[in-house]
Amino acid sequence: MMGSTHALTGWCAGLALAPAIGAGSVHQALAFAATTAGFALLPDLDHPHARASKLLGPITGFLCWLLRHASAGLYQVTKGPRDEPGRGSHRHLSHTVLFAAGLGVATTYGTRAGGWYVVAGVVVFALLLAADALGDWLLIVAGGGVVWWALTASAAAELSQLTGWLGIAVAAGCFTHCLGDALTESGCPFLFPVPIAGETWYELRPPAFLRFRTGKGVEKFLIVPVFTVLAVLLVPGAWPGLVGLFAEPAVTAGG
């Protein structure tokens, strides 16, 4: 999947999950979804040319190097008799449920220990990741959102309430990335280490007629438009607002 598609699907997943985990206010739901959108790009940190790897220069570059070597080492130790003979440095360790869960748990404990400062740091990092894929306009919108939040609510108090929940956002973002890649022709080994058909790193994918090529027609002209609409409609209050906008003239005319 393209980076922009990963960010869009992550945003939608975050908005869908926010009410379930108790992110009740609009501010919290948007912060939660922004985190999911950003971390839906993080698994590609295992590729040196990915946006995530270049985001913070030598810092993310070093993390990319570390992740690639850890993934390659794990692959050599755990690959099954029918796994591919490649290095296993890309689309392996970071594209698994275990990685998503591990990063989510680490975020949960980190935010609980560090409080709202760490929560804010995670959200800002996620916004930078998402903006790198969707465009700098997102940072301008996010800046306006911060001002709006500061004027209408206690930002520190609401961020503190996200402590612990943000681990779910991080894990959900990584998992959404894996699901998206699993729909492409390459597939995704996100059930590692469950052995399937003699492969420890079995690349799950749907039947051939349901797969699509990254950046081609199906993704650009079907998946992206659908999730762009959902990205707006899933924002708390957006759907009732749109219904009210179109229903009001009818009521007035009838009266």
User: Under a CB-based contact definition with an 8 Å cutoff, are residues 22 and 165 in contact?
Assistant: yes
Residue 55 has pLDDT above 80, yes or no: yes
Residue 103 has pLDDT above 90, yes or no: yes
Give the CA radius of gyration of the chain.
20
Q: What torsion do the CA atoms of 62, 112, 39, 122 make, to the nearest 10 degrees?
A: -70
| The pLDDT of residue 248 | 54
- Domain borders along the chain are 3-254
Q: Which sign does the torsion angle of CA 189, 194, 195, 197 carry?
A: negative
User: Under a CB-based contact definition with an 8 Å cutoff, are residues 162 and 119 in contact?
Assistant: yes
| The pLDDT of residue 91 | 92
Report how far residue 152's alpha carbon sits from residue 55's, in angstroms, rounded to the nearest whole number. 31
Pick the closest to residue 172 from 3, 4, 17 (CA basis).
17
Calculate mean pLDDT across residues 107-135.
Answer: 90
Q: pLDDT tens digit string along 18-53?
A: 988 887 678 888 889 999 999 999 999 999 999 899
Helix, strand and coil in the chain, % to nearest 5: 70, 0, 25
Choice between 188 and 117, residue whose per-residue pLDDT is larger: 188
If you count DSSP H runs as helices and E runs as strands, how many of each does the chain have, helices first?
A: 12, 0
